[in-house]
Amino acid sequence: MRLDKFVCKSTDLTKSNAVQRIHDSDVLVNGVAVVNESAQVHENNRITLNGQLLTPRPFRYLMIHKPANTICSNVDEAYPSLFTGLDIERTSELHVAGRLDADTTGLVLVTDDGRWSFDIIRPTQHCKKIYVVGLSRTIAEDQVNNLIEQFATGLQLQGEANLTRPALLEVISDKQARLTITEGKFHQVKRMFAAVGFKVVKLHREKIGDVLLNVEMGDWRYLTEAEVGSFKGEP
């Protein structure tokens, strides 16, 4: 963790104030003043501010049911932040593990633990994400098996050198499907359906790994220990 982040997570200082205290040599790491705010520190380091031992607050792990027309950002931009209106403290410390487009709804995992979120988004983790997809036109009955096979084999996306990883397609109705993927390329679900001639008009993420979305639209909750551990290979 960066030293300035450690100080912020252990105090009520803003980032700019924490950086100033670091530059003023008020922060010692194992008894030595470190004036570089980007220096990496670890839990086993002894870090003090003006002689007071700093202990970071516990990491937080949340799920949010993201509404449409919100963005996975800490602050409002062209669209409001998904945190707007939610009773969550210190949202500036949080980040999203796997963003969704502004028009996409559903499960968003949020944390201040960078190592945990990396385990979710890194390509070698092959973390499953399940989406319900609404399409602009009908899937004909005689197309279903071919589409399932194409998604399972891998699709060639525009601008990509390699095929997508095998994906599981389940046709729910003539204009709706459920898709399970294990990677997270830019606009991947929309681009996969575009590659087979369909336009996505509605997209909703309902599951990441073993974590199933189970809160109402616009609501949130903390993850259980088991849910948190499921991304770390723990029981």
Annotation marks residue 101 as catalytic:
yes
Burial class (CB in 10 A: 0-12, 13-18, 19+), 226: exposed
Q: In the beta sheet, which residues pair with residue 106?
A: 66, 205
Q: What 3-state DSSP class applies to 213?
A: coil
CB < 8 Å & 24+ apart, contacts of 161-169: 164/188, 164/192, 165/126, 167/192
User: Between 3-10 and 15-23, two packed helices, what is the crossing angle to 10 degrees?
Assistant: 120
Half-sphere exposure of 187 (CA within 13 A, CB side): 15
Residue 183: closest CA among 120, 226, 234, 132: 120
Question: Of 26, 101, 103, 113, which one is the catalytic site residue?
Answer: 101
Q: How many CA atoms lie within 13 A of 96 on its CB side?
A: 19
CA of 91: how far to CAs of 8, 9, 26, 120, 154, in Å?
A: 12, 12, 26, 20, 38
By DSSP bridging, strand 105-111 and strand 200-208 are: parallel
- 156: three-class secondary structure by DSSP: coil
Catalytic residues: 101
